[in-house]
Chains A and B, each alone.
Chain A
């Protein structure tokens, strides 16, 4: 049986657009059918916005690549209608072990917070991730949604105009032109779209290389995350071992910046390193080896007129903390509902500038965390190394030093503090769910809060009445009452009410809190909706 990443999933088909007399106009064109481009397409299709996704090949990506997905992106996948397939296939781990030099210095149990539908995070190969998103695209097509992936098609030029973008697409049967009201570039770290528009990165730039290997093992290795600082088999660098589904193990060996990539990739150089890591007797088969080079930086702006950048095309981080694909999914989560309102003519184009504000805030958080991890793992000065080694030495016998050990801080969603879209707050309510914060899941009867909201503005009255629906100048708001009494563990009370008896929350379509009050007032909700849609 051929592997999923060898199977054409969306082979090239001639489109009627190629035979049209004039370029055909589409509301949205997405470049790239990676995780972010596919998520953007699915989100648009769910909002009934026709979308064309253009991808230069016809398969999912080769090799495991992005393998850790955090709770918030899983909630986004639930909103996109496909979370179960990912979670069912994935591997969940609880126990992590940290090694320094030749010894294990400590282990930790994740002990995830109770009262959430989804786990803290899962491991899943990127090719499965993309495969399941393609399944969702196919399901939406079967429902009659206008979503299309054009395989073996490469965007060769981008010509931004005042009210649309003109693109040239190369195919096996020649090139054709296509127009989009909007263009979303999800074409990855090397983004040809970014280069075509002459745009570059700003900020701190540093480069590192990782040897990344997928290994199929017969042995019963435990489902744990093992991280090595300065191990004998990879001196002065780090190493990571992670379990994936189907007995595939992922190994990341940090190589530093000054290396011969072709030399490092040769099996005769890779295999001895892996044996040193897994033990001489370990039986394994090498499925995939790649050198991953990263730089830590972002574009100055993600919105350039009618061209919007999302995912790695807009920002890049080190792999520590799994912040790449996870933050990319939060980009499109943030962008698509805004684009829908703009396309419907109910919100001004300037609403899209809040995409820049909110997601640049997210990118900067990710870059900061990723830079700190990198500085800990690869100290940049003698004194930095002295402190790093001191932390690791102390961590072996002193619990206090363990939180200082930084092998990557796992992706957590940004709170959009200071966003122009944030509305009223009552500061006596818990800070964790303040305006700008993403939904914090909690059980609601037999359901989950994350499953009850999203894709629309949603008023939630906790222990108080709100209207079932409201039209705010073309923006539909739905309302529901929930009761904190049903949640006997008190998660809803703790996360949304604190010491108070009741509250009203307004959630945006991306499940972030727009505003909150103690009591319902129609005027206050209207003001908050206008603020959250850039109409205030």
Chain B
């Protein structure tokens, strides 16, 4: 059974991060929010497996202790 992969998985992480931030350049807050929503939906569909999506929904909630 596959689990949500939270170990390093993206090759060239700096490039990906730069692409992500660049994608939002010049967008208003509302346009950025809409972009993020479309991105999440596209990625979620690619993953597909409900169990992994549920784990991701949970994992995204967790914040480092003391920041709350």
Asked whether any CB of chain A lies closer than 8 Å to the CB of B60, the reply is: no
How close is A229's CB to chain B, nearest CB, in angstroms? 15
Residues on B with beta carbons closer than 8 Å to the beta carbon of A394: 38, 41-42
- Verify A390–B37 contact, CB threshold 8 A: yes
Asked whether any CB of chain B lies closer than 8 Å to the CB of A246, the reply is: no
- Verify B34–A386 contact, CB threshold 8 A: yes
Q: Give complex CA distance A386, B41 in Å.
A: 12
Question: Which residue of chain A has the shortest Cβ distance to B39 in the bound complex?
Answer: A390
- Verify A390–B45 contact, CB threshold 8 A: no
| CB under 8 Å from chain A, chain B span 28-62 | 33-34, 37-38, 40-42, 45
Residues on A with beta carbons closer than 8 Å to the beta carbon of B37: 386-387, 389-390
Question: Which residue of chain B has the shortest Cβ distance to A389 in the bound complex?
Answer: B34
The dominant DSSP class at the B interface is: helix
Residues on B with beta carbons closer than 8 Å to the beta carbon of A401: 41, 45
| CB under 8 Å from chain A, chain B span 1-53 | 33-34, 37-38, 40-42, 45
Residues on B with beta carbons closer than 8 Å to the beta carbon of A383: 33
How close is B16's CB to chain A, nearest CB, in angstroms? 21
- Verify B45–A393 contact, CB threshold 8 A: no
Asked whether any CB of chain B lies closer than 8 Å to the CB of A391, the reply is: yes
Asked whether any CB of chain B lies closer than 8 Å to the CB of A271, the reply is: no
| CB under 8 Å from chain B, chain A span 356-403 | 383, 386-387, 389-391, 393-394, 398, 400-401
Q: What's the tally of chain B residues with a CB closer than 8 Å to chain A? A: 8
Interface residue tally of chain A, by bracket?
10 to 19
- Verify B42–A393 contact, CB threshold 8 A: no
- Verify A386–B45 contact, CB threshold 8 A: no
Residues on A with beta carbons closer than 8 Å to the beta carbon of B38: 390, 393-394
Question: Which residue of chain A has the shortest Cβ distance to B33 in the bound complex?
Answer: A386
Asked whether any CB of chain B lies closer than 8 Å to the CB of A404, the reply is: yes
A390, A394, A398 — most chain B CB neighbours (10 Å): A390
Task: Choose from B33, B34, B41 the contact partner of A404 (Cβ within 8 Å).
Answer: B41
How close is B39's CB to chain A, nearest CB, in angstroms? 9
Q: Give complex CA distance A398, B33 in Å.
A: 19
Question: Which residue of chain B has the shortest Cβ distance to A399 in the bound complex?
Answer: B45
Q: Give complex CA distance A393, B45 in Å.
A: 15
Question: Which residue of chain B has the shortest Cβ distance to A382 in the bound complex?
Answer: B33
Residues on A with beta carbons closer than 8 Å to the beta carbon of B41: 387, 390-391, 394, 401, 404
Q: Give complex CA distance A502, B33 in Å.
A: 56
Residues on B with beta carbons closer than 8 Å to the beta carbon of A400: 45
How close is B40's CB to chain A, nearest CB, in angstroms? 8
Residues on A with beta carbons closer than 8 Å to the beta carbon of B40: 387, 390
A386, A391, A393, A401 — most chain B CB neighbours (10 Å): A386
B34, B37, B45 — most chain A CB neighbours (10 Å): B37
Q: Give complex CA distance A294, B33 in Å.
A: 32
Residues on B with beta carbons closer than 8 Å to the beta carbon of A387: 37, 40-41
Question: Which residue of chain B has the shortest Cβ distance to A398 in the bound complex?
Answer: B42
Question: Which residue of chain B has the shortest Cβ distance to A390 in the bound complex?
Answer: B37
How close is B14's CB to chain A, nearest CB, in angstroms? 27
Question: Which residue of chain B has the shortest Cβ distance to A391 in the bound complex?
Answer: B41
A387, A393, A398, A401 — most chain B CB neighbours (10 Å): A387
Q: Give complex CA distance A383, B30 in Å.
A: 10
Residues on B with beta carbons closer than 8 Å to the beta carbon of A391: 41
| CB under 8 Å from chain B, chain A span 480-521 | none
How close is B19's CB to chain A, nearest CB, in angstroms? 19
How close is A222's CB to chain B, nearest CB, in angstroms? 31
Question: Which residue of chain B has the shortest Cβ distance to A393 in the bound complex?
Answer: B38
Question: Which residue of chain B has the shortest Cβ distance to A387 in the bound complex?
Answer: B37
Q: Give complex CA distance A387, B36 in Å.
A: 9
Q: Give complex CA distance A401, B43 in Å.
A: 12
How close is A109's CB to chain B, nearest CB, in angstroms? 22
Residues on A with beta carbons closer than 8 Å to the beta carbon of B34: 386, 389-390, 393
Q: List 5 A-B contacts (CB under 8 A).
A: A386-B33, A390-B34, A390-B41, A393-B38, A401-B41
Binding site for B on A (CB under 8 A): 383, 386-387, 389-391, 393-394, 398, 400-401, 404
9 A-B pairs with least C-beta separation: A390-B37, A400-B45, A390-B38, A386-B37, A387-B37, A386-B33, A394-B38, A390-B41, A386-B34
